[in-house]
Amino acid sequence: MSKLRVNAFTLSLDGFGAGPDQTLQNPLGVGGEELHKWMTGTRTFHEMVGKDGGTTDVDDRFTVRSFDNVGAWILGRNMFGPIRGEWPDDRWKGWWGTNPPYHVPVFVLTHYKRDPIEMEGGTTFYFVTDGIHSALDQAKAAAGGKDVRVGGGVATIRQYLKDGLIDELHLAISPVLLGRGENLFAGLDMLKLGYQCTEQVATALATHVTIKRD
């Protein structure tokens, strides 16, 4: 049965999923790049960006797992780019160049209509203007029985958590304090929503936690 998953989503020690003040120069916000050192050194990440080498340790295994059996993605608009409001033109096609790392259909939540964008490597971006449930229905249909992965950001994950729609979360807790940003769990009663921690593995650069819904 198709699941809705969050994988390899990194949080700071104080619970923030990205740094403040996202810009074109700082796509992860100020200090946000520090969160992801656990992943950027892995062999899987190196392969994604066309580099050799990288570790094949626990961090790499969690990175590999994050891509297993994923047939579609859902992203919030901030994850797609820094543009706000109406789309000024069709030039912005994401942070990732001509061949994004998804290689499956990606459904982007937005309030503003835009035609789909077909990229190299099998990624097509679809822009959904009628809410999280519509995006999930479309993503599940496109996934063909595989899982749907919510890539973020924090606000998007929180919307799906509030409605109890996420089946499984893998979070990487990075030993970094950001001080500001969007807090993933603020105001959410995860126990009341039916979630339990089912796995915890610590490495030098992150504590990997898996949370599942009963």
Tell me the pLDDT tens digit for each residue of 183-214: 999 999 999 999 999 999 999 999 999 999 98
Q: Which two tokens mark 9? A: 């989503």
Cα-Cα end-to-end distance for the chain: 15
**Long-range Cβ contacts of 59-67 (<8 Å, 24+ apart):** 59/203, 59/205, 59/206, 59/208, 62/8, 62/170, 62/172, 62/201, 62/208, 63/8, 63/39, 65/7, 65/170, 66/7, 66/8, 66/149, 66/170, 67/7
Give the architecture-level CATH label for domain 16-83+99-213: 3-Layer(aba) Sandwich (3.40)
Contact call for residues 104 and 70 (beta carbons, < 8 A):
yes
* Residue whose C-alpha is closest to residue 206's, from 8, 30, 43: 8
E strand or H helix at 70, and its extent?
A: strand 70-76
Contact call for residues 129 and 110 (beta carbons, < 8 A):
yes
Q: What does pTM read for this prediction? A: 0.93
Name the one residue in this structure whose structure tokens are 């993933």.
184
pLDDT at 82: 86
* Chain segment 130-182, per-residue pLDDT in tens: 999 999 999 999 999 999 999 989 999 999 999 999 999 999 999 999 988 88
What single-letter DSSP state applies at residue 192?
A: T
E strand or H helix at 159, and its extent?
A: helix 154-162
Domain ranges of the chain: 16-83+99-213
pLDDT at 87: 94
